[in-house]
Structure 1
Amino acid sequence: MSRPARQQDYDVIVVGAGPAGCAAAAALAQAGPGLSVLVVDRADFPRDKPCGDGIAHEVTEVLSELEFDVERVFAGAVTVDELALRSPTGVRVRRRMRHQVHVAPRQIFDARLVQEVRRRGIEVRRHPVRAVDVAADGVRLDSLRARVVIGADGAESVVRRGSARPRPGRVALAIRGYAPELPELAGCQFITMTDQHWPAYAWSFPIGDGQANVGYGELLGRRPLSRSDLLTRLHELLPGLQPPSGLRAHRLPLSSGRPPIPDGPVLLAGDAQSMINPFTGEGIFYAVLSGALAGRAAAQALTSGGDAGRLYRAATHRRLGRHLRHTSALARLGGWTALIDAGLRAGREDQRAFDDLVSFGLADGLLTPRLLSRLRFRG
């Protein structure tokens, strides 16, 4: 007869060692250096994860604030400074971005973040969490226990389900693979939308050596989407594309349907908290930022007092509240494709408006007066 596993206690356990979890661990090391922290993940690293692989400049800013060695993290990654967009009805714009972006396969990027966390003396352990029990004396995860738990374990978060959190309200389904770049898109990030299954879009992001990360995503509705549906629509939006390899599908819980952040010792970050931009599918910026905010809130609660959930909610509101209100408001109007057309026309005519669009879709930008005035007159 086997003995039950001995309980191990920590101040904070971070579930998930992707960008959100690594950012949370780094923030804990900064804000609460005396705290005992454990990071667990169901996978070993390096491991692949379906994603567009595009990493905005603002991600590097957050990682730098968290004292990651960004040169080491992005060594060998492709840098891109040009972005092309196509609206649902065919309006096009192609311009240089204000800041270069990196395109780094997640198999490499995530593993390097884990290495950075381990270099700080934080343990990262393979452990698939199966049970979550929120009790008066802390949060139990199988044979582990912590005063605070940060769930950064993705769209199908075990921590979210185990803490009785609601499911995301708006979810897209996407498929991603790798294929030779289309000649006309060489060296350029490209996002193309369609009004046939709106809101839906395809992308092509160069990863070097003439290859591109390509994919297609669509908001889930009443009808189920099959792998064949996703691939057919990908090829319709990227005509001439060779059959992609390494295809993987994934769910995208959109920020416009995110659940509220409650009080308590369980915090969710990244995809687990439905932090995906509803227009571009970008999630890495939200992941590292929300992970950092969660880590700081947990450290403050444990070292200075207060409720971790309340502190995290307040910090998220301060840092992202206006941006998330803007994206949610526009998402509610997303069926009116004239808005998207007008925005791309404004970006085509004015570099500053284009920069506003990029910041809105890839980071924490707002619907600026400059952009709104053009939407009003063009829409």
Structure 2
Amino acid sequence: MYQYISFCFADKVFKSLDIDEIANTLVSGGTKEEFRKIYQEKIESWKVKDVKFCITGGSRTGKSSFINAITGCQKGQKGFATVSVYGDTTNKAACYTHPKHSKFQLWDLPRFGTVQHKSEGYVNDMEFTKFDYVLIFFDVISENDIWLAKQLKRLMKSFCFVRSKLDQDITNEMQHDCNTIACNIRTKALGDLEKEQISGVDVFVISSADTTIGNFESLINHMENNLDEGKYAAVIYSLASISKPVIGEKFKVLHKRISMIAVVSMLFKDDREITTHSRSDIILTNLKNEIMFYINTFELTPPVVQKLMEHSTFQMRDILCRSGEEIKKIVKNSLESKNEKIFSFPQMPSLFRESEILLNTILVGLQNDALYVFGQLPTFKGKVVEQENISISNV
């Protein structure tokens, strides 16, 4: 009985191979080059793609707070967007580079329709054509908001409206039914847009202070639908793990990598004469790098985990806060417990299957650990670090 693996990304199937013939096909030059091309395009492209978000709208609409929620920066840290209760703090376009991914930029634009920034020329002056995604922040839909929406439609730009102070709305309404409040605000805003003959535009009611309430998950889904796959991956990998929906999206995007990673980890520049020891070291290094990427993406870094480790049971306790070499050893022991000769060339199909199972098990465990940390430390922020530029070796 043949077993098949399919490499599916979005709605396109790139390759189906008989898993029992992997050992033969992996040493075929053409097949290796095809795998590498797909891998670079679908798995690694997020590292090199520029992602530019535009954050615009009226004063005191929560733009700076949203930027800080996305970057995970706190007051006093480099990249923190100043939040003021006195009105506009943005007199000119300000670029905030995400601390975990240098190619992900959030541009905070000044309010327009003022003496300093008149509507005429605003779209050209602020170079809206360079942005991948535009978020218009509002308290009440204004004439300026309507005008900008029409300009963005003319430019065929992906954009949405965001009301970002749901937590304050709940307090002001003196009730705790956040869903009803969010629905009422959203319905009113959509009605205002419809009156101005602006259709097909989404409105999201969120709280930058508490992303567990409101439409934050729907906003993330809107980004997914309006960004190409590589750019969306860059956004998700970079986001602070600030809510269950974000952690869930990270899991979804990471899970799509597993089959490809398992295969690519076994591609070699050398031929089938490579020694079993060399082969095992290359494969283990690649699998270790992938696991460390999961840990960094979920922000399960030592400052976070060590704070809870003494009083908590983590599902992935054995690999958290471990060195790369220690993780390699754990992976090696796990795979060899299934088959002591699993790294020999004839066992490549078995190695693929077991590697895929192991990565999936670890990813599920790390997601659960991230959800636990989120629940236990809602206000604790780990040190923001640049995503490591980890790549598959010897590919």
What TM-score comes out, normalization by structure 1 length? 0.22
More strand by share: 1
What TM-score comes out, normalization by structure 2 length? 0.22
Q: Which has the larger radius of gyration?
A: 2
Higher relative contact order (CA 8 A, sep 6+): 1
